[in-house]
Amino acid sequence: MKTRQAPLPEFYVGLPEVEIDARIIEAKKKLSSRLVILGHHYQRDSIIRHADFRGDSYKLAKDAGSLPDAEYIVFCGVHFMAESADILTPPSQVVILPNMAAGCSMADMANIFQVRNCWRALEGLMDVSKVVPVTYINSAANLKAFVGEQGGTVCTSTNAPAAVEWALQRGEKVLFFPDQHLGRNTGVRLGYDPSDMVVWDPFRPLGGNSAEALERAKFILWKGHCSVHSRFNVGQIEKARAEFPGVNVVVHPECSLEVVEASDDNGSTSHIIKVVSEAPPGTSWAVGTEINLVQRLAKEHPGKTIFCLDPQICPCSTMYRIHPSFLLYALEELVEGRVVNQVSVPDEVATFARRSLDQMLQLA
Ligand code: 13P
Ligand code: SF4
């Protein structure tokens, strides 16, 4: 979802970093237990150090729903994460995204009109009561609502296999959006073949497929991808193995199937952090995910060789929009009793979206 962000007030624009940091600490003290700051693993260090809870999308969604005492939840992550937090919290709690322009390019690759068109096209070909929609949490709230209405589930990179297994116990096919790679990697992990899958291109009639191919397919995968994870390739893995004999390669499942198959392990951001952190000193790790996470891991584990598979810096540019000056502005406004950048999902959307998010939480 593309959302506009009003320019920061002049005062905050040129503030030195040390002053921003000190003022954030001060504002946090003033707001005390009324405030909780959540930080996704891709946030920069100067944000993460202020987070009360860090995590991947799954953990942060759970955290948000289990903080009944916080009046304000400031979500340092991207828009779909703040929306999920708002859906999972009571109306009395206010969810704030410090920069409303922090979206997710993958989430923007599927919108409700396209998904409804796809569903209508499938209705013309088959009994859609046997098609179970599964949306990755990286999607707008109205897509989660659509999935909730149709009896499907949300998934994250943590529980995608459980979500897809659940879906295939309830129906014969899965419509998975918006990330084709997570969908394909999950299907293969569950023992299906890529030939059991078709890709749905929202800009082509029948998604670019024949009616027969759609009828045959077990998985209909939306043509979406992550701009960060699509940078990783098998050549980078081969180069890392040649330069660092014995290196372990771990990647996020938003990478392509070829990359996942050429690596040693794959999983959510929390999984990546866990395996690298728990590895013995002296081991080497080539990591296929966002650079802030990789650099932090390298700093926290000086006894291990930890580097990003992509030699060019690969930050998530939308996560990066949560600059400390935006966080400070949001907090100082709260101190003054003013709420800025509230993320509020309308009731008619939230009701059904909560159904698919609750389903996801039950799966774990
Ligand atoms: P995680 O749920 O693994 O943190 O992933 C979120 C994400 O956006 C990865 O690109
Ligand atoms: Fe979206 Fe990719 Fe950024 Fe994750 S890394 S928030 S999927 S653009």
CB distance 57 to ligand 1 below 6 Å = yes
Give all strands of the β-sheet with 35-40 in edge-to-edge order.
Answer: 53-55, 35-40, 72-76, 94-96
Smallest CA-to-CA distance from 40 within 7, 21, 64 is with 64
CB distance 46 to ligand 2 below 6 Å = no
Q: Is 40 helix (H, G, I), strand (E, B) or coil?
A: strand
Of all protein residues, the one whose alpha carbon is nearest to atom 2 of ligand 1 is: 57
Element (H, E) at 180: helix 180-189
When pLDDT is cut at 50, 70 and 90, the band that residue 174 belongs to is very high
Ligand 1 atom at minimum distance from 267 CA? 3
Ligand 2 atom at minimum distance from 289 CA? 5
For residues 207 and 222, what is the distance between their CA atoms, to the nearest angstrom? 9
Which residues, other chains included, contact 201 with Cβ-Cβ below 8 Å and sequence gap of 6+? 207, 208, 223
- Give the HSE-up count for residue 227: Cα atoms under 13 Å, Cβ half-sphere: 14
Question: Could you report the per-residue pLDDT of 321-351, keeping only the tens digit for each?
Answer: 999 999 999 999 999 999 999 999 999 999 9
pLDDT of residue 311: 82
pLDDT of residue 364: 66
Tokens of 144: 């989660």
Tokens of 355: 């159904």
**Which tops the pLDDT comparison, 200 or 9?**
200
105 C-alpha to ligand 2 centroid (Å): 7
Of all protein residues, the one whose alpha carbon is nearest to atom 6 of ligand 2 is: 104
**Entry pTM:** 0.96
Of all protein residues, the one whose alpha carbon is nearest to atom 1 of ligand 2 is: 104
Element (H, E) at 27: helix 17-31
Tokens of 5: 């962000």
Domains of the chain (ranges plus CATH)?
10-104+318-346 (3.40.50.10800), 107-226 (3.40.50), 229-308 (3.40.50.10800)
Smallest CA-to-CA distance from 158 within 61, 271, 293 is with 271
Tokens of 85: 């937090």
Please state, as a whole number, how many other Cβ atoms lie within 10 Å of the Cβ of residue 256: 20
* φ, ψ dihedrals at 351, nearest 5°: -55, -50
228 C-alpha to ligand 2 centroid (Å): 7
Residue 280 per-residue DSSP state: P
Q: Is pLDDT at 215 greater than 70 in this prediction?
A: yes
Which residues, other chains included, contact 288 with Cβ-Cβ below 8 Å and sequence gap of 6+? 229, 232, 236, 249, 250, 251, 252, 255, 259, 263, 308, 309, 310
CB distance 254 to ligand 1 below 6 Å = yes
CB distance 108 to ligand 1 below 6 Å = no
Question: Could you report the per-residue pLDDT of 126-168, keeping only the tens digit for each?
Answer: 999 999 999 999 999 999 999 999 999 999 999 999 999 999 9
Among the bound ligands, the one closest to the CA of 61: 1
CB distance 319 to ligand 2 below 6 Å = yes
